[in-house]
């Protein structure tokens, strides 16, 4: 409760239609629900780390909020799918599994991008290293040509 008070934008949102039993249930739908929210939680932790490194994470937080909205919609679909007959349920849950994988990839990308913004590698260092490596490549090529001409 205190955490939600201190950081209201990071308050964990639960879909009201998701049964509380899904926190421990071994059903496919419950497992997909937990998988979805683990990915979002991991992304939020990555943003916290980026923030501690001095990155302004406001835009990334907005992206996470959009992902939360998407997760809520997926949760609603999972709840409805869990009530379908077995054959249809399997097919619908398979489609939802692919959507959840897409959410996971996007969430991971948001977190990675925020952490990369905290990277201490400066563009000038990258340019310098690229120039050194290009000169080394030219030297290696020249030596290879000299060897070919000498034989």
- Look at residue 92 and give its three-state secondary structure: helix
CA distance 17 to 20: 9
Give the chain's length: 151
The band of 2, judged by pLDDT with boundaries at 50, 70 and 90, is: very low
Angle at 22 between CA 2 and CA 7, to 5 degrees: 20
Minimal CA–CA distance to 49: which of 105, 103, 116?
116
Minimal CA–CA distance to 7: which of 61, 88, 59, 54?
61
Of 9-13, 44-48, 55-59, 71-75, minimum mean pLDDT range: 9-13
Kindly report the pTM of this predicted structure.
0.68
| Torsion of the alpha carbons at 116, 117, 119 and 120, rounded to the nearest 10 | 160
pLDDT tens digits, 77-93: 999 999 999 989 999 99
């Amino acid at each position: 409760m205190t955490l939600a008070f201190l950081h209201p934008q990071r308050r964990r949102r639960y879909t009201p239609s998701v049964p509380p039993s899904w926190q421990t249930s071994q059903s496919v739908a419950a497992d997909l629900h937990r998988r979805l929210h683990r990915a979002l939680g991991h992304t939020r932790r990555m943003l916290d780390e980026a923030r501690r490194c001095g990155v302004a994470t406001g835009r990334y937080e907005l992206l996470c909020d959009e992902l939360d909205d998407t997760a809520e919609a997926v949760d609603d679909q999972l709840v409805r799918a869990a009530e379908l007959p077995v054959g249809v349920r399997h097919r619908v849950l398979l489609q939802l599994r692919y959507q959840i994988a897409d959410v996971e990839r996007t969430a991971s990308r948001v977190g990675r991008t925020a952490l990369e913004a905290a990277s201490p590698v400066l563009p000038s260092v990258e340019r310098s290293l690229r120039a050194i490596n290009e000169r080394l490549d030219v030297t290696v090529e020249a030596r290879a040509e000299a060897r070919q001409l000498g034989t």
